Chain A
Amino acid sequence: NAGVTQTPKFRILKIGQSMTLQCAQDMNHNYMYWYRQDPGMGLKLIYYSVGAGITDKGEVPNGYNVSRSTTEDFPLRLELAAPSQTSVYFCASSYEFSAAYEQYFGPGTRLTVT
């Protein structure tokens, strides 16, 4: 199993540009998450999904959109990029009925907006 994969690994955007961060998992997890991590900080939840077709906002959803058309894929869309969106973005997934809700993380995408 590849686990959770993310593309691209690095990206530089100009202010106002848009892009999609890709995330896929092959563990048949129902739950998927997008986090951002700013330097020296913990993870902030952007959006999450409990299954195909179902998404919901996390702590910091402004400036982002998501979709979940399949169990495997959970892309994150940035519209009109701003310098405040410079961060490392992690995608994660977990089992639906696990009491632990242990999350499996992708390798991250480092995004710089200038």
Chain B
Amino acid sequence: EDKVVQSPLSLVVHEGDTVTLNCSYEVTNFRSLLWYKQEKKAPTFLFMLTSSGIEKKSGRLSSILDKKELFSILNITATQTGDSAVYLCAVAGTNAGKSTFGDGTTLTVKP
């Protein structure tokens, strides 16, 4: 059975701090790992990672995948209150594009 574990479950920081969110996984026929941001509504897509060691960046957010050790990290630098959200990690196998989601990390950024 596919499994995704995220840590920490929750995190409280102050504006300007840098945070690292972790995602480890076990999946049959790995295809990709995806990060989503969820702010009290539907998840919105952040990154898709398929290859080890290649960093994806979008503004203050970046992510990298290690397919040997089966984990990914999501970094957020210079955090802002608008970064407060649940960050979900999902792993997609080759079976019909199904994704297995972790339980998420709840990030709270205080002013």
Contacts and interface: CB of A to CB of B under 8 A. Distances in A.
Interface of A: 31, 33, 35, 40-45, 48, 50, 56, 58, 90, 94, 96, 98-108
B109 to A, nearest CB: 19
Residue from the set B41, B97, B102 with the largest chain A CB neighbour count within 10 Å: B97
14 contacts: A31-B97, A40-B106, A41-B103, A41-B104, A42-B102, A42-B103, A43-B90, A100-B50, A101-B92, A102-B45, A103-B43, A104-B45, A105-B42, A108-B42
Interface of B: 4, 6, 31-32, 34, 41-45, 48, 50, 88, 90, 92, 96-104, 106
A43 B101 contact: yes
A88 to B, nearest CB: 9
Given A99-B50, A105-B42, A105-B44, 11 more contacts: A40-B106, A42-B101, A42-B104, A45-B98, A48-B98, A99-B31, A99-B32, A100-B34, A100-B48, A104-B45, A107-B41
Please report whether the interface of chain B is mostly helix, strand, loop or mixed according to DSSP: strand
A99 to B, nearest CB: 6
Contact of A102 (B34, B101, B102): B34
Determine which residue in A58, A99, A102, A108 has the highest number of CB atoms from chain B within 10 A of its CB, and name it: A102
Given A42-B101, A43-B88, A48-B96, A90 B48 contact: no
B88 A42 contact: yes
Contacts of A58: 98
Given A99-B32, A102-B48, A107-B42, A31 B102 contact: no
A101 B97 contact: yes
